[in-house]
Amino acid sequence: MQNNNLPTQEEYQQLAKEYEPKRPLLKNCIRAFFAGGIICTIGQFFQWFYMTYFDFTEVTASNPTVASMIIISMLLTGFGVYDHLAQWAGAGTIVPVTGFANTITSAAIEHRSEGYVLGVGGNMFKIAGPVITFGVFAAFVVAIVRILVEKLGVI
Amino acid sequence: MLQGQQSWIFANRPVLLATAVAGGPFEARSAIAADFDILHDDIWLGQSSFEKAEKKLLEEACQTSIQKAGLQKEDIQFFFSGDLMNQIISSSFAARTLGIPYFGLFGACSSSMEGLALAAFVVNAGGARYALTACSSHNGSVNKQYRYPTEYGAQLPPTAQWTVTGAGAAVVAAQGVGPRVIGATIGRVIDLGVTDPFNMGAAMAPAAVDTIIAHFRDFNLDASHYDLIATGDLGKVGHAIAADLLRRQGIVIPENIFTDCGVLIYQGQQQVMSGGSGCACSAVVTYGHFFNRMLKGELKRVLIVATGALLSPLSYQQNESIPCVAHAVALEWEGV
Amino acid sequence: MEKFLLAFLVGGAICVLGQILLDVFRLTPAHMTVTLVVAGAILGGLGLYEPLIEFAGAGASVPICSFGNSLVNGALSEAERHGIIGVLTGIFEITSAGISSAIIFGFLASLIFKPKG
């Protein structure tokens, strides 16, 4: 390709990098820390709440806790608030389970215009799909490996 | 008529008889809100999907420009239109409503000038008395197709741009009163290996530079010929890179002349990161703001270089880089 | 009270790890969450994630990596009860609440809400 007016690809990658505004790593990490920390603290509150006022144990309380966090995330997503929080918080809102709920809710809401079956149903897992697929597959491999290793008497 | 390698000169100087520009709520808060003909406070325009809303914006811009030209739909011979949707449905469905013989174009965000160049050529060659050229984009429909659902919580990097929700249309005529289309330079597809769809500015800058250099070469001009040279939507990052690349070729365009529609449209609004983008970006700024400035006598000779990134969501997932193109159209208004 | 502070600190720290994956390693959010989930599964298989949950409570169970851990635990505990086929039948046992809620409430949201832009 004749690009005698322009730099080569390598030269250009270098140039483009120089002009790219640096991502504010420290600022983003501090924000992610606070946002993620607060969300997990809220989760801890739910955990305590369900154990204290209902008949849940340390282990079983995680079920209503997770469900509560998901409902909150769904509402924040539906009211158009979650994406603004996320621009500030970055990984702080993506990493907790609220992020998972946000991916499903936002996709579901977005594709309603294509109908409930093909639109909502067919697109709901557009962004969450990788997490489920790789979580399940990784768990499968890890479990098999662990069982084999135990059977062979190493553990 | 062919001019140089890849340009046309329009000896009959077709006229931009009338233009119309429509926008959404975010554009209503922009730096150039006063130059819009129609502004909506609802991003859905009362429709049931973003795609339908985009089609409505395009129809409004087209119908308003025809009205402002003092014409009827039936007077227009050809309609040139493009947008960012799969299979350019916004343009096709608007063409259905208008009922004008239709050329569907895909130049991504360079569609505005691609359409204007073709419309001017056809009118100049006597192939039409009147031609209509338009394009549109919508923040919601573009995010849904190319990026993430609107309410998804991703953190946009500083190189990201905000897709303009709007449409711009222009009626080109063989005679009449208005800024004249002098010539056009059609761009080559340039790809210098940028793969990041959140840094379109860097991807498109080389294409803009290639077309500007080709334009100066074909017409034997330099930057001093123009009062304004505006790229379409390179944004802050891409525009700075383009200026750098031009300097390396010994071309220095003064800062008050060299601007970018994506930077101009949303001055001072933070959440747009590097600036505006989308087909409508160059269209609304050119057919609204620059057009009005020309009529007021503030600008005489203007070169608009609309830039487009020709990727698809699939090409990105398949690890392809982003090929880009830029088309330039020269406008002139010497006063009544 | 101490539990709340630990939840805040550990949860925050895991999110910082995620932010570094995003900004330094330039992963997409999807790649980043997949990395964390797989890491959670591996740590779960090594028996290292449960102690973290005991230590930090929601600080370890709310981040998405705990999802990987729960999937592994479900598989292993079912395999213990019913043999190797348990790996298939038990995977979603513990995470059922989370996934079902996300689908149900996501769908409900689509009935009620429109994207705001």
CATH number for the domain that contains residue B314: 3.40.47.40
B192 contacts in A (CB within 8 Å)?
3, 6-7, 9, 12-13, 16
Domain that holds residue B72: 2-173
Q: What is the mean pLDDT of residues C71-97?
A: 94
Point out the domain boundary residue: B145, B173, B201. Answer: B173
Shortest CA gap B297–chain A (Å): 35
Domain count, chain C: 1
| Mutant choice from A23, A41, A105, A150 vs C, greatest count of C C-beta within 10 A | A41
Q: Shortest CA distance to B201 belongs to which of B76, B328, B326? A: B326
Residue A57's pLDDT is what? 87
In chain C, which residue's Cα lies nearest the Cα of A129? C30
Point out the domain boundary residue: B173, B190, B212. Answer: B173
Q: What is the mean pLDDT of residues A65-80?
A: 95
Q: Quick one: CA torsion of C55, C58, C62, C65, rounded to 10 degrees? A: 0
d(CA B318, CA B312): 10
Are B7 and B55 found together in one domain?
A: yes
Would you say B229 and B128 are in contact if contact means Cβ atoms under 8 Å apart? no
Are B160 and B279 found together in one domain?
A: no
Are β-strands B324-332 and B180-185 bridged in parallel, bridged antiparallel, or unpaired? antiparallel
Q: Shortest CA distance to B329 belongs to which of B249, B204, B239, B228? A: B228
What string of pLDDT tens digits covers the 336 residues of chain B?
Answer: 999 999 999 999 999 999 999 999 999 999 999 999 999 999 999 999 999 999 999 999 999 999 999 999 999 999 999 999 999 999 999 999 999 999 999 999 999 999 999 999 999 999 999 999 999 999 999 999 999 999 999 999 999 999 999 999 999 999 999 999 999 999 999 999 999 999 999 999 999 999 999 999 999 999 999 999 999 999 999 999 999 999 999 999 999 999 999 999 997 776 889 999 999 999 999 999 999 999 999 999 999 999 999 999 999 999 999 999 999 999 999 876
Which sequence spans correspond to the domains of chain A? 20-124, 127-155
d(CA B330, CA B324): 20
Interface contacts B/C by beta carbons within 8 Å: 16
Are B36 and B137 found together in one domain?
A: yes
User: Backbone phi, then psi, for B326, in 5-degree steps?
Assistant: -140, 135
Are B320 and B255 found together in one domain?
A: yes
CA distances from A21 to A69, A118, B157, C24, C101 (A): 35, 40, 9, 14, 40
d(CA C103, CA A104): 7
Are B136 and B201 found together in one domain?
A: no
Would you say B327 and B305 are in contact if contact means Cβ atoms under 8 Å apart? yes
Shortest CA gap C77–chain B (Å): 35
Is the four-CA dihedral B272, B278, B283, B286 of positive or negative sign?
A: positive
Q: Over the stretch C91-107, which tens digit does the pLDDT of each residue have? A: 999 999 999 999 999 99
What proportions of chain C, in percent to the nearest 5, are helix, strand and coil? Answer: 80, 0, 20
In chain C, positions 43-82, which contact chain A (CB-CB < 8 Å)?
A: 44-45, 57-59, 61-68, 71-72, 74-76, 79
Q: What DSSP designation does A20 have?
A: S
Q: Shortest CA distance to A91 belongs to which of C4, C14, C8? A: C14
Residue A1's pLDDT is what? 39
Are B227 and B128 found together in one domain?
A: no
Say if C32 is an interface residue toward chain A (CB within 8 Å): yes
Residue A58's pLDDT is what? 83
Q: Does C30 score more than 50 pLDDT?
A: yes
Q: Over the stretch A3-54, which tens digit does the pLDDT of each residue have? A: 567 999 999 999 999 999 999 999 999 999 999 999 999 999 999 999 999 9
Q: Are residues B150 and C22, on separate chains, in Cβ contact within 8 Å?
A: no
Q: What DSSP designation does A111 have?
A: G
Shortest CA gap C88–chain A (Å): 7
The first and second tokens of residue B114, run together, are 């691609």
Amino acid at C73: N
Residue B270's pLDDT is what? 66
The first and second tokens of residue C97, run together, are 């609440």
* Angle formed at CA C115 by CA C112 and CA C117, multiple of 5 degrees: 155
Please provide the average confidence, as pLDDT, over all residues in chain C: 95
Residue A135's pLDDT is what? 97
Are β-strands B38-39 and B15-23 bridged in parallel, bridged antiparallel, or unpaired? parallel
Shortest CA gap B123–chain A (Å): 33
Residue A3's pLDDT is what? 55
Are B99 and B121 found together in one domain?
A: yes
C116 contacts in B (CB within 8 Å)?
150-151
B25 contacts in C (CB within 8 Å)?
117
Residue B314's pLDDT is what? 93
Interface contacts A/B by beta carbons within 8 Å: 108
Q: Over the stretch C45-54, which tens digit does the pLDDT of each residue have? A: 999 999 999 9
Are B150 and B204 found together in one domain?
A: no
Q: Over the stretch A75-131, which tens digit does the pLDDT of each residue have? A: 999 999 999 999 999 999 999 999 999 999 999 999 999 999 999 999 999 999 999
Domain count, chain B: 2
Shortest CA gap B270–chain A (Å): 12
Of C59, C87, C116, the CB nearest to A80: C116
Residue C117 domain-assigned (yes or no)? no
Q: What is the mean pLDDT of residues C23-28?
A: 94
Residue C32 domain-assigned (yes or no)? yes
The first and second tokens of residue A113, run together, are 């215009």
